[in-house]
A and B are shown apart, each in its own frame.
Chain A
Amino acid sequence: MEMLLSGNEALARGVFEYGGEFASAYPGTPSTEILQVIAKFFKDDVYAEWAINEKVALEVAVGASYGGARSIAVMKHVGVNVAADPLMSLTYTGVGAGMIIVSADDPSLHSSQNEQDNRYYGKFASIPVLEPSDSQEAKDFVKTSFEISEQFDTPVFLRITTRISHSKGIVEIGDRETVEHEGFERNITKFVMVPAYAAVRHKIVIDRLEALKEYAETTDLNRIEWNNKDVGIITGSISYQHVKEAMPDASVLKLGMGYPLPMKKIAGFAAKVKNLFVVEELEPFYEEQIKAAGIEVEGKKYFSNHLELNVDRVRDGFIEAGLLDASVKSSTALAEPEEVLPRPPVLCSGCPHRGMMVAMKKLKLYTTGDIGCYTLGALPPLSQIDTCLCMGASIGHAFGITRAGKSDGKFVSLIGDSTFLHSGITALASVVYNKGNTTNIIVDNRITAMTGGQDNPGTSRTLMGEPTNAVDLKAICRAVGVEHVREVDPYDLEETISVLKEETERDACSVVITNRPCMLFPSKIKDEPYTVILEKCTACGLCFGVGCPSIAASDEKNDKGKPKAEIDPITCTGCTICAQVCPSGAIVPLEQ
C-alpha cells in the first residue's frame, strides 16, 4: 500500500515497521512530529515519551538499548549539542539492541537560532551517518540504521533536514517486523567508562570505523547513477533531488551514508568523469574529506554553505561553472517581486506573555531572553527581548551582565516553563550559590507552546496521554535557595508591575512566576471580546504598542490625521491588556 507521508511521518512509520520498541525526544522544530506520530498511531507497539531535555532523551534511549529494546532518540540539530556529553562516550560503549539518534537539522533557520551542520557529529564521534533524501528513504533508512547498529555495535546517526522532515512524498508501507533481543547482560568493561576500560574501548571504536569504511564501499546506500561523464556529481540528502532535476544528464554518486565516506568508490567515480563536483547543503563536509584524500573536486566555490539549496541555486552554480546554459531557467525566473509589507509572526491574541512584556517595558527593564514563543517579544512593537542564545541561557546572562557591573539599567531573565525545566534549573542554582541578586521571570503557560503544544514535566500528562505527577516550579526555585518566589497574574498589569518593581529593587535573587495558561494549548481559550469606543479614542497609539494581532488601525482619524484603533471581535480573547494601557477608557467589553 502507498501513503503520502512527510519525512517525519515516514521515519516514525519506519520505527514501527522495523521493530522499534522505545522512543524518547525533546520537542524541537523540525523533528517534533516524529514522536507525536509514534504516540498517536503506534503506541501499542512502541513506547514513546517526552524527556525533560535532549541529554536525558538520549540517556534513556541508550538505557533501553542496553536493556535489549531497539530504541531511538530524536532531537533538532541544536539538541544534539545538549546530548553531546552522553553521545561522545556512547560511541565507546556501543549499544545493546539497535540504537538510532535522529538529528533534524534546519538549513535556512526556518525555526532555529543557527544552521549548524550536524554531519560533523558523526565524524566527531566516529559513528555512521545516514542521510535520507526523501520520505521513502526516511522510512527505509530506519531499517538499515538498526541493522548497522547491531552489526557494528554502534549508535547510528540518522540525519534529516527541515526539507526532508516537512515535505510529503509517496511511501510504500509494510507490516511490523520484530527482532528478539535479550535484556541487559552484565558486561562491566563494555558499559563502565572508567579510564582503564574506556581506553580499551577507544581502540575498538578506531577499528570499528575501519570496518564501517569497508561497509560504505559495498552498501547500496551509496550508488552510482551513470549518465553523461562530462559532469560527475557527488551528493546526498535533499541536494540529490535538486541535482537530479537541475542536471538530468550528469552522472551522480548518491551518498545515502554520509559518514564514513566510501573513498575508493569516490576515487573510481572521479577517475571516470571529466569534471567532478560535490553538491551538499551547508558545510563542505564531503568536499573537505574528498580533497584531503587527494582527489580534485569543486564544491563550495559554486554552491554556498549559506542557507538551503534548491533547484535554482544548483542550476546557478553549474551555469557559473560554465557547464549549464542559462536558458534552462524559466523566462520569468528573474522577475522582480512586488513590494509587499512584511508579515512577521506575533504573539497570539490574548497570549499571557504579552502582559508580562508590557509590564517589563513600562519599567524600562533589559531582558535576557530564552527559547520559546516569548522570543517573539524581540520584534517590534514590543522589542523587549535583548538576548537569545540557547535553551536556558537567560538566567546566566542576567547574572553575568549584572556581575560584570558595567551596564546601566536592570537586567532580568525571562524563560518559559518547559525551557526552565530543560536547562534553567541548574543556572538558577548557580546564580543563588554565587550570591546573585537578579530577578528571574518564569512565564509558566503550562505547555511547550512554540513547537505546537507538547506536554512537559510540568503539565501532569505524558506523551502517551496518561496522567502523571507534575513538577512544582515554586518548590524547585525555593529548593535551590531562592528566598523570594512570587506568583503574578500577567493579565493584571498593575499587580505585575508592582511585583516586578519590588523584586528588581531587592538586593537578592528572586523568581516571579506567571500563572496563566497558553491560549491555544491544550485547548483554545476565548472570553468575551472587547471593542473601541471611537468617540473616546484619541489615537494615542498606546494600544498598538502591545502588539496584539486583534488590534488594527481603523479608518477613523483624529484631527492630526492619526488613526484610531479597532478590535477584531472574532479573534479578540478579552484578555484586557489593551484596555489596561488605554489612558482614555476607550476600550470596553463589546457587550456593554
Chain B
Amino acid sequence: MKNGITNVLIVGVGGQGVLLASEILTEVAKVMGLDAKKSEVHGMSQRGGVVTSHIRFGEKVYSPLIPSGESDVILAFELSEGLRWIHELAEGGTFIVNDHKLVPPITATGKFFYPEDAIDRIKARVPGAKLVEATDIARELGNPRLVNTILLGVMSQSIDLAEDTWLEVIKKMAPKGTAELNRKAFLAGRSD
C-alpha cells in the first residue's frame, strides 16, 4: 500500500467474468465509504483476448491505473495470464491464481506453446503464491459458474474490507436466484 491506496489487479481471459468480479470489489469499497476507481483494458476481448482490470481504493484515488510494480494483490483467473502479469506485484504483495488452463487457439499454429510449467515459474517468482482449486470447490458446491465468487472470497482474506459488506454487495449484484449459492461460494473461498 502506497499513499493509503490499495491496488488490486484482476486478470484473465475475455468471457471469464473478470469484469463482474472487479465490479463487485469496487462496489464493496464504495459502500464502505472509500474513494474507488476501476479501469479495464480489454481491447477486442469479446473474442477471447487478454483482460485486465485495475481496482484502486482508499481515501482519495487520482489515476484509475495502477503504476508498475504497485499491485498489492493480483488475482488471476487463469494460469498463463497470472504468469503474464506477475511482474506487476508490489514487494510483499499477495498473488492468487486459479489452477485453470485456457489454451489459446494460436497454439494450433505450432509456433507458440502454452507454458505447461506456469505453476513452477509462478512459485519460483513468488514463493508464497496461492494456488486455488476453484473449479473443484465450485463442483462441490454444485455449480461450475461459482468460480469467480470463490476467487473473490479467497482474495477477500488479503484486503481490509468488511465481510458483511462483501455479503451485502454480492447479494445485490449476483444474478437472479443465485444469491444464496454465491454467498456460500464467497464464504468457501474466504475460508480456503
Residues of A within 8 A of B (CB): 2, 4, 110-111, 134, 163, 166-170, 238, 241-242, 244-245, 248, 310-312, 315, 329-338, 340-348, 373, 376, 380-381, 450, 452, 520, 541, 544, 547-549, 551-553, 562-563, 565
Minimum CB–CB distance for B47 against chain A, Å: 4
Minimum CB–CB distance for A324 against chain B, Å: 13
Among the listed A170, A311, A376, which residue makes an inter-chain contact with B65, where contact means beta carbons less than 8 Å apart?
A311
Using Cβ atoms and an 8 Å threshold, which residues of chain B touch A348? 47-48
Quick check: B43 and A343 within 8 Å, CB to CB? no
Quick check: A110 and B43 within 8 Å, CB to CB? yes
Minimum CB–CB distance for A225 against chain B, Å: 12
* Cα(A588)–Cα(B39), bound, Å: 43
Quick check: A168 and B67 within 8 Å, CB to CB? no
Using Cβ atoms and an 8 Å threshold, which residues of chain B touch A547? 105, 108
Binds A, one of B80-88, B128-136, B184-192: B80-88
B30 at interface by CB-CB < 8 Å? yes
Using Cβ atoms and an 8 Å threshold, which residues of chain B touch A544? 108-110
* Cα(A343)–Cα(B112), bound, Å: 10
Quick check: B43 and A549 within 8 Å, CB to CB? no
Using Cβ atoms and an 8 Å threshold, which residues of chain A touch B183? none
For the complex of A and B, 5 pairs with smallest distance between CB atoms: A330-B69, A332-B69, A544-B108, A333-B69, A345-B47
Quick check: A549 and B86 within 8 Å, CB to CB? no
Minimum CB–CB distance for A468 against chain B, Å: 26
Among the listed A167, A346, A452, which residue makes an inter-chain contact with B105, where contact means beta carbons less than 8 Å apart?
A346
Quick check: B39 and A552 within 8 Å, CB to CB? no
B41 at interface by CB-CB < 8 Å? yes
Residues of B within 8 A of A (CB): 2-3, 13-14, 23, 26-27, 30, 35-50, 61-65, 67-70, 80-81, 83-84, 86-91, 103-110, 112-115, 121, 125
Question: In the complex where A245-B62, A332-B90, A333-B67 touch, is A167 in contact with B110 (Cβ < 8 A)?
Answer: no
Quick check: A343 and B115 within 8 Å, CB to CB? no
Using Cβ atoms and an 8 Å threshold, which residues of chain A touch B80? 340-341, 343
Quick check: B30 and A312 within 8 Å, CB to CB? no
* Cα(A110)–Cα(B61), bound, Å: 24
Question: In the complex where A242-B63, A331-B69, A338-B86 touch, is A345 in contact with B104 (Cβ < 8 A)?
Answer: no
Quick check: B67 and A341 within 8 Å, CB to CB? no
Quick check: B40 and A166 within 8 Å, CB to CB? yes
Using Cβ atoms and an 8 Å threshold, which residues of chain A touch B64? 134, 163, 167-169, 238, 241
Minimum CB–CB distance for A346 against chain B, Å: 5
Quick check: B63 and A310 within 8 Å, CB to CB? yes
Using Cβ atoms and an 8 Å threshold, which residues of chain A touch B63? 238, 241-242, 244-245, 310-311
* Cα(A125)–Cα(B16), bound, Å: 44
Using Cβ atoms and an 8 Å threshold, which residues of chain A touch B14? 345
Quick check: B48 and A342 within 8 Å, CB to CB? no
- Whose C-beta in chain B lies nearest to the C-beta of A347? B47
Using Cβ atoms and an 8 Å threshold, which residues of chain A touch B13? 343
Quick check: B40 and A342 within 8 Å, CB to CB? no
Quick check: B47 and A329 within 8 Å, CB to CB? no
- Whose C-beta in chain B lies nearest to the C-beta of A164? B64
Quick check: A332 and B91 within 8 Å, CB to CB? yes
- Whose C-beta in chain B lies nearest to the C-beta of A2? B30
Sample 17 A-B pairs with CB under 8 A, ordered by A number.
A110-B41, A110-B43, A163-B65, A167-B38, A245-B62, A311-B63, A311-B65, A315-B67, A329-B69, A334-B68, A337-B87, A338-B83, A338-B87, A341-B80, A341-B107, A344-B49, A345-B14
Quick check: A452 and B46 within 8 Å, CB to CB? yes
Minimum CB–CB distance for A214 against chain B, Å: 31
* Cα(A418)–Cα(B25), bound, Å: 37
Quick check: B47 and A346 within 8 Å, CB to CB? yes
Quick check: A4 and B106 within 8 Å, CB to CB? no
- Whose C-beta in chain B lies nearest to the C-beta of A449? B46
Instruction: Say what secondary structure dominates the interface of chain A.
Output: loop
Minimum CB–CB distance for A569 against chain B, Å: 14
Minimum CB–CB distance for A383 against chain B, Å: 11
Using Cβ atoms and an 8 Å threshold, which residues of chain B touch A336? 87
Question: In the complex where A244-B62, A332-B89, A337-B87 touch, is A170 in contact with B30 (Cβ < 8 A)?
Answer: yes
A sample of 12 more A-B contacts (CB under 8 A), given A4-B26, A329-B68, is A167-B39, A168-B26, A241-B63, A245-B63, A310-B67, A332-B90, A336-B87, A338-B83, A338-B84, A342-B106, A346-B105, A348-B47
- Whose C-beta in chain B lies nearest to the C-beta of A381? B109
Instruction: Say what secondary structure dominates the interface of chain B.
Output: mixed
Among the listed A170, A343, A347, A380, which residue makes an inter-chain contact with B49, where contact means beta carbons less than 8 Å apart?
A343
* Cα(A334)–Cα(B68), bound, Å: 8
Minimum CB–CB distance for A165 against chain B, Å: 10
Minimum CB–CB distance for B8 against chain A, Å: 14
Question: In the complex where A338-B121, A338-B125 touch, is A345 in contact with B49 (Cβ < 8 A)?
Answer: yes
Quick check: A553 and B70 within 8 Å, CB to CB? no
Using Cβ atoms and an 8 Å threshold, which residues of chain B touch A520? 46
* Cα(A244)–Cα(B62), bound, Å: 7
Using Cβ atoms and an 8 Å threshold, which residues of chain B touch A549? 48, 104-105
Using Cβ atoms and an 8 Å threshold, which residues of chain B touch A170? 30, 35-36
Quick check: A4 and B39 within 8 Å, CB to CB? no
Using Cβ atoms and an 8 Å threshold, which residues of chain B touch A167? 37-40, 64
Quick check: B26 and A343 within 8 Å, CB to CB? no
* Cα(A310)–Cα(B88), bound, Å: 15
Q: Which of A166, A332, A335 has the most CB of B within 10 A?
A: A332
Question: In the complex where A168-B38, A170-B36, A310-B63 touch, is A551 in contact with B68 (Cβ < 8 A)?
Answer: no
Minimum CB–CB distance for A370 against chain B, Å: 15
Minimum CB–CB distance for B87 against chain A, Å: 4
Quick check: B44 and A341 within 8 Å, CB to CB? no
Quick check: A548 and B91 within 8 Å, CB to CB? no
Quick check: B47 and A376 within 8 Å, CB to CB? yes
Using Cβ atoms and an 8 Å threshold, which residues of chain A touch B50? 343
Question: In the complex where A169-B64, A331-B91 touch, is A381 in contact with B37 (Cβ < 8 A)?
Answer: no
Question: In the complex where A111-B44, A552-B105 touch, is A330 in contact with B39 (Cβ < 8 A)?
Answer: no
* Cα(A338)–Cα(B88), bound, Å: 11
* Cα(A244)–Cα(B109), bound, Å: 46
Among the listed B36, B69, B70, which residue makes an inter-chain contact with A334, where contact means beta carbons less than 8 Å apart?
B69
Quick check: A341 and B115 within 8 Å, CB to CB? yes
* Cα(A163)–Cα(B62), bound, Å: 13
* Cα(A343)–Cα(B44), bound, Å: 11
- Whose C-beta in chain B lies nearest to the C-beta of A239? B63
Using Cβ atoms and an 8 Å threshold, which residues of chain B touch A343? 13, 48-50, 80-81, 104, 106
Minimum CB–CB distance for A238 against chain B, Å: 8
* Cα(A346)–Cα(B44), bound, Å: 9
* Cα(A346)–Cα(B48), bound, Å: 7
- Whose C-beta in chain B lies nearest to the C-beta of A563? B110
* Cα(A181)–Cα(B65), bound, Å: 42
Minimum CB–CB distance for A58 against chain B, Å: 26
* Cα(A316)–Cα(B45), bound, Å: 30
Using Cβ atoms and an 8 Å threshold, which residues of chain B touch A553? 107-108, 110
